[in-house]
Structure formats: C-alpha cells, structure tokens
Amino acid sequence: MSKKVLIVDDSIYMRSLVRSALEEAGYEIAGEAKDGESAIDLAMETQPDLITLDNILPDMMGFEVLKVLRDEGLESKVIMISAVGQQTVINKGKELGASDYIVKPFTSESLVEVVNKVFA
C-alpha cells in the first residue's frame, strides 16, 4: 500500500513540483495545502503518512503548524522544507519530531531520496 503524502506549500509551483516528483516515485498524494490553517485541517482529515511542510507559510510558520499537529496527536512523519539560511528553524522542527528536512531549491531526485529515507 502506498504511503499518503500531504503537501504543504504556499507556492503552487512548489506543490506541483513535489506532487509530480512523489507521484512518479509511487506515493499517493493525500492533498495539498497552501497555508497553515488548511494544512492542519487537511492533515487531521486525511491522516497522511507524511507531510512535506514548507516552513514559510502565509499565515504561520511551518514549525508552528507541526506543533499544533503534534498537540492534536497526529503522528505523521514530517519533512520540513526550508529556504536556505534557516537552520535554526529546522532545528526547532526536529525538536518537535520532524523526521528530516530538505533545503529549497531542490531537485525531484533529492526530494524522493529524502522521502524514501524517511520511510526506510
């Protein structure tokens, strides 16, 4: 059974980039969210196996979303997606239980590699 992935990013291009890359790698896309609030709703609704969580969202920061999800009891794996130079933010996510992170801009191959590693 393929893993369900929720994609959270405010950029439609990034979402489609991630979606195409993961679908090609055989993952099921549980949904896409372009802000924190919808991301939380969608995550609670779909209970995905993995969430790719962009750190900078229009309404809140990625690690804040992660905190809410963890408070809600969601145990999905999380890969933080971060722009260059946000190492401290990444560490905060890791503290909250993020499995790994990837730095933007990334290639499809490097994303798949990280996702596979998380599930390995």
Binding mask 44-83 for other proteins (x = CB under 8 A): ------------x--------------------------x
Burial of 10 (0-12, 13-18, 19+ CB in 10 A): middle
User: Contact at 8 Å (CB) between 82 and 69?
Assistant: no
Distance CA 54, CA 18 (A): 11
Q: Is 105 in the site for other proteins (CB under 8 A)?
A: yes
Cβ at position 104, least distance to other proteins in Å = 3
Binders of other proteins among residues 3 to 32 (CB under 8 A) are: 11-14, 16-17, 20
- Residue 54 corresponds to which amino acid? D
Contact positions toward other proteins, by CB under 8 A?
Answer: 11-14, 16-17, 20, 56, 83-86, 104-108
